[in-house]
């Protein structure tokens, strides 16, 4: 099997995680893919392949003879796909892109006007969806590239390397991928997550992240007799929304700019809830955003009555930059590996997070590498065939002793 065969096999597994679940992993179907990966890793020659009770897959490629003292490098990807769009019955298509729009099916298309970066892929084969599901390149492309690189190293013993630790995590998409990661079992000195987007990206800066849930308590009275008595929780919640900074939303920010993002809202006159994520690369600006939200809730409680608004605020992860800066050889090594195989490296900040951010704070320095894909978490997701083959070459060069 090559990297494309593996990828097409892996996306046939439905592995959506579920942020409302109380189990670990959040969905049992993630373990089904984990068990398949253990069998495959064992078959290609890795040792100690196992999926543990929490759904984490661990394996190792032993060091080449004479290279046992080389530091152990880890390669990590996640098995789950985003809860945002269905990952069941994925029907990938491989199309030769000749320019213009890409028809998908179900009346959907990847439109060149909406995604101008497509022009760089003219003449290439792209793997796309059929318009009804996401593709799963985030992060089954990372899985396929890591497994394929390991298989290549096993079949080419002339390429010398130290011990390579392999780890595949569940529940990354709901922020829990590092919750039960066993660092002792993984046993690596450094690692990379292979979980980025377009080919060549190297990332060691990510958002500081928090989640917020706001519960709004109203007073419902028959609308015919409600004057000076009703407190409509929907309108009260809208009061909060309209007081949020209008320019600090995802649709108005880029690069290092942070944002507030309301991602869920429900309610009636008596009770309304809204969920929000807060992001910023700068730690002080991140803290200021949380303080702003706390002050806004306090102000609205003063306006509508104490206890009308309840805020639950929880930090999710922090910018890994401070943990990677003492280990910048990881970034330089990644650049060299890419250049060696003809890929132009591009160091960019992640406008999101990876397992690597939390693992770095747990003591495992872990920057992030591209997979080659784009438009993650939706029906317009795609990944170029050439990019996946190139990433396998990059990983082989990266671990070469």
Among candidate residues 14, 172, 269, 381, the one labeled active-site is 172
Sheet with 190-196: strands ordered across: 47-51, 57-61, 164-169, 73-78, 190-196, 368-370, 201-203, 346-347
To the query of whether residue 80 is one of the catalytic residues in this protein, the response is yes
- Helix, strand, coil fractions of the chain, as percent rounded to 5: 35, 25, 40
CA distance 200 to 213: 36
Report how far apart, in Å, the C-alpha atoms of 246 and of each of 131, 291, 365, 388 are.
32, 17, 36, 39
- Region of residue 107 (phi > 0: left; psi between -120 and 50: alpha; otherwise: beta): left
Paired tokens of 89: 């019955």
> Kind of pairing, strands 108-110 and 125-128?
unpaired
Among candidate residues 40, 80, 201, 397, the one labeled active-site is 80
CB atoms within 10 A of CB 377: 16
Q: Catalytic residue numbers? A: 80, 172
């Amino acid at each position: 099997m090559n990297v494309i065969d593996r990828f097409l096999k892996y996306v046939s597994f439905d592995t959506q995680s579920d942020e409302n679940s109380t189990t670990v992993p959040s969905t049992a179907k993630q373990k089904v893919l984990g068990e398949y990966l253990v069998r495959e890793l064992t078959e290609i020659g890795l040792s100690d392949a196992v999926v543990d009770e929490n759904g984490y897959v661990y394996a190792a490629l032993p060091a080449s003879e004479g290279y046992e003292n080389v530091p152990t490098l880890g390669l990590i990807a996640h098995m789950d796909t985003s809860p945002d769009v269905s990952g069941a019955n994925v029907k990938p298509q491989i199309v030769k892109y000749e320019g213009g729009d890409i028809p998908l099916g179900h009346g959907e298309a990847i439109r060149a006007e909406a995604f101008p970066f497509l022009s760089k892929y003219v003449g290439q084969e792209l793997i796309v969806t059929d318009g009804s599901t996401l593709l799963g390149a985030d992060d089954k492309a990372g899985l396929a590239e890591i497994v394929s690189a390991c298989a290549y190293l096993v079949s080419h013993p002339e390429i010398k390397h130290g011990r390579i630790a392999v780890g595949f995590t569940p529940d990354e998409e709901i922020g829990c991928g590092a919750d039960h990661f066993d660092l002792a079992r993984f046993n690596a000195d450094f690692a990379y997550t292979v979980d980025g987007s377009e080919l060549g990206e190297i990332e060691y800066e990510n958002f500081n992240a928090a989640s917020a849930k706001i519960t709004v308590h109203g007073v419902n009275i028959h609308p015919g007799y409600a004057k000076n008595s009703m407190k409509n929780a929907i309108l009260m919640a809208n009061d909060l929304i309209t007081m949020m900074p209008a320019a600090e939303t995802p649709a108005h920010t880029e690069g290092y700019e942070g944002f507030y993002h309301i991602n869920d809202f429900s309610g009636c006159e008596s009770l309304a809830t809204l969920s929000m994520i807060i992001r910023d690369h700068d730690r002080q600006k991140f803290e200021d955003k949380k303080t702003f939200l706390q002050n806004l809730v306090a102000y609205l409680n003063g306006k509508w009555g104490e206890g009308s608004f309840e805020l639950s605020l929880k930090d999710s992860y922090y910018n890994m930059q401070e943990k990677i800066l003492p280990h910048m050889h990881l970034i330089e090594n990644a650049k060299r590996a890419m250049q060696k195989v003809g890929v132009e490296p591009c160091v960019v900040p992640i406008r999101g997070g990876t397992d690597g951010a939390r693992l770095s704070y747990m003591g495992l320095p872990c920057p992030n590498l591209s997979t080659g894909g784009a438009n993650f978490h939706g029906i317009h997701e795609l990944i170029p065939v050439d990019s996946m083959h190139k990433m396998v070459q990059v990983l082989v060069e990266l671990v070469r002793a």
